[in-house]
């Protein structure tokens, strides 16, 4: 058995050390004679796993005390509805920044519950860039301001936290959370599906400032009501216990690496190497404006589409997996989340150089 280099956008690579530990604990966790998957979520043992995961996450992200951390199901997509249902009055209004496919999906869903004011859209630029925030059309009636700091598909990342709105700032951090330190206190609510940079699919993290709880619309399903979920310590119903446990192992792994400062440096080095290869070789191109190039998801094209298939099959032969770009963008995409090592990026870069020499 060998583990190859996996550049999948999601569900994405997990640290090998984490999977090895899960393997060791698979059949018998802590000498209890059963798997974490077979434990009651209300047992003392699972409670200790759950509490430790939350404590480690709080430490990694320096989550302030007046924020609650929720471990729930439904993916980031369920949050596209949960956010308006919890934070917008019936028929109310909210600001949304449109930077690509995922913000578009959040906008479409929010429109089902109230008025969406799109403060700016990158659509006419094929989502390669976005107007600077002085040009955003903020609504004074907005209950919140929603944006997607990293567009997983388009590869556009906003490195500065918007400061143009007085309304609570809501961020879909699915593909950027834990990639570097972030000032949580600037946000009203952060959410993220786990399967990019946290753990396996099935778990969604919500980090919400306490004063935003208790504002849900009357008809909100109980499983989507932040206040109820928080009151029940994320155990209103059965939580995704195994994903929660694995996320906890990832948090421990991140602490062991030296925390998010260390991850940020490593991630920056990885991204710089990859973009340098794209820019150096005549064969490759990147569509995203330089100042918005994502450090997690790197889409690139080959100058000649006929080379896509040879590039991908050559990559597979070298153990470089899942480099095919999203169907809406085409070309290639390398997702280089925390669990993708520098060695993986180095292997990809040397393959790109080699391929460029042969075909460029
Ligand atoms: C993957 C992704 C989603 C969708 O996540 P699901 O868990 O599949 O619902 C939403 N937003 C962003 C930014 C993503 O990367």
Helices (H), 170-259: 226-231, 241-257
The residue whose CB lies within 8 Å of the most ligand 1 atoms, and thus the one to mutate among 12, 77, 337, is 77
Identified catalytic residue from 102, 136, 244, 253:
102
Identified catalytic residue from 56, 136, 196, 270:
196
The structural domains of the chain, with segments of one domain joined by +, span 17-257, 259-359
pLDDT of residue 174: 98
> For residue 34, how far is its CA from the centre of ligand 1 (angstroms)?
32
Ligand 1 residue neighbourhood (C-beta within 6 Å): 10, 75-77, 102, 148, 152, 172, 174-175, 193, 196
For ligand 1, atom 3, name the residue with the nearest CA: 76
Q: Could you give the C-alpha distances from 350 to 305, 315, 333, 353, in angstroms and in order?
A: 21, 11, 16, 5
- Nearest atom (ligand 1) to Cα of 150: 13
Count CA within 13 A, CB hemisphere, residue 23: 7
> For residue 58, how far is its CA from the centre of ligand 1 (angstroms)?
22
Residue 56 is a catalytic residue: no
> For residue 115, how far is its CA from the centre of ligand 1 (angstroms)?
22
**CATH number of the domain at 259-359, please?**
3.90.1150.10
Q: Which of 322, 296, 350, 325 is nearest to 8 (CA)?
A: 322
For ligand 1, atom 8, name the residue with the nearest CA: 75
> For residue 355, how far is its CA from the centre of ligand 1 (angstroms)?
32
Beta bridge partners of residue 95, listed in sequence order = 117, 145
For ligand 1, atom 1, name the residue with the nearest CA: 174
A 10 A CB-CB count for 6 gives: 19
Residue 172 is a catalytic residue: yes
pLDDT of residue 329: 86
* Residue ranges for the chain with pLDDT beneath 70: 1
pLDDT of residue 325: 95
> For residue 304, how far is its CA from the centre of ligand 1 (angstroms)?
30
Residue 253 is a catalytic residue: no
For ligand 1, atom 4, name the residue with the nearest CA: 76
- Nearest atom (ligand 1) to Cα of 204: 7
Tokens of 311: 């590039």
> For residue 76, how far is its CA from the centre of ligand 1 (angstroms)?
5
Q: Which of 159, 152, 105 is nearest to 7 (CA)?
A: 152
Put simply, whether the predicted model's pTM sits higher than 0.95 gets the answer yes
For ligand 1, atom 10, name the residue with the nearest CA: 76
- Nearest atom (ligand 1) to Cα of 10: 1
Q: Could you give the C-alpha distances from 110 to 77, 104, 278, in angstroms and in order?
A: 11, 10, 37
Q: Which of 56, 101, 109 is nearest to 79 (CA)?
A: 109
Q: In whole angstroms, give the CA distance from residue 187 to residue 192.
A: 14
| Cis ω for the linkage preceding 29 (within 30 of 0) | no
Instruction: Return the H-helix or E-strand segment holding 297.
Output: strand 297-302
Identified catalytic residue from 56, 95, 98, 172:
172
For ligand 1, atom 12, name the residue with the nearest CA: 174
Q: In whole angstroms, give the CA distance from residue 296 to residue 167.
A: 28
- Nearest atom (ligand 1) to Cα of 201: 7
- Nearest atom (ligand 1) to Cα of 193: 7
Contact 5, 344 (CB under 8 A): yes
Task: Put the strands of the sheet holding 204-209 in their side by side order.
Answer: 67-72, 204-209, 189-193, 169-172, 145-147, 93-98, 115-121
pLDDT of residue 271: 98
> For residue 176, how far is its CA from the centre of ligand 1 (angstroms)?
11
pLDDT of residue 1: 60
- CATH 3.40.50.460, applies to 17-257: no
> For residue 174, how far is its CA from the centre of ligand 1 (angstroms)?
6
């Amino acid at each position: 058995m060998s583990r190859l280099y996996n550049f999948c956008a999601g569900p994405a690579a997990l640290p090998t050390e984490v999977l090895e530990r899960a393997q060791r604990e698979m059949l018998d966790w802590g000498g209890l004679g059963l798997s974490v998957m077979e434990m009651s979520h209300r047992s003392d043992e699972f409670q200790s796993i759950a509490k430790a995961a939350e404590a480690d996450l709080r430490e990694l992200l320096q989550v302030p005390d007046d924020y609650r951390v929720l471990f729930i199901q439904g993916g980031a997509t369920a949050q596209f509805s949960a956010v308006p249902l919890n934070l917008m009055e019936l028929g109310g209004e909210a600001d949304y920044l449109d930077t690509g496919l995922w913000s578009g999906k959040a906008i479409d869903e929010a429109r089902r519950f109230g008025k969406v004011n799109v403060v700016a859209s990158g659509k006419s630029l094929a989502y390669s860039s976005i107007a600077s925030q002085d040009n955003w059309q903020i609504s004074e009636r907005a209950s919140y301001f929603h944006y997607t700091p990293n567009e997983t598909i388009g590869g556009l990342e906003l490195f500065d936290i918007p400061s143009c709105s007085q309304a609570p700032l809501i961020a879909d951090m699915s593909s950027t959370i834990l990639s570097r330190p972030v000032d949580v206190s600037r946000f009203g609510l952060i959410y993220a599906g786990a399967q990019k940079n946290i753990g396996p699919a099935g778990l969604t993290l919500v980090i919400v400032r306490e004063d935003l709880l208790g504002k849900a619309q009357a008809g909100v399903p109980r499983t989507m009501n932040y206040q109820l979920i928080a009151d029940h310590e994320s155990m209103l119903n059965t939580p995704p216990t195994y994903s929660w446990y694995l996320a906890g192992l990832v948090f421990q792994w991140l602490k062991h690496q030296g925390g998010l400062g260390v991850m940020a440096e490593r991630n920056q080095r990885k991204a710089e190497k990859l973009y340098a290869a794209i820019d150096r070789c005549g064969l490759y191109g990147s569509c995203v404006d330089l100042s918005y190039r994502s450090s997690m998801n790197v889409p690139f094209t080959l100058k000649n589409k006929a080379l896509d298939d040879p590039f991908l099959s050559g990559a597979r032969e070298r153990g470089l997996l899942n480099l095919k770009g999203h169907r809406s963008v085409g070309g290639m995409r390398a997702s280089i989340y925390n669990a993708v090592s520098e060695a993986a990026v180095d292997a990809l870069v040397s393959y790109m150089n080699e391929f460029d020499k042969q075909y460029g």
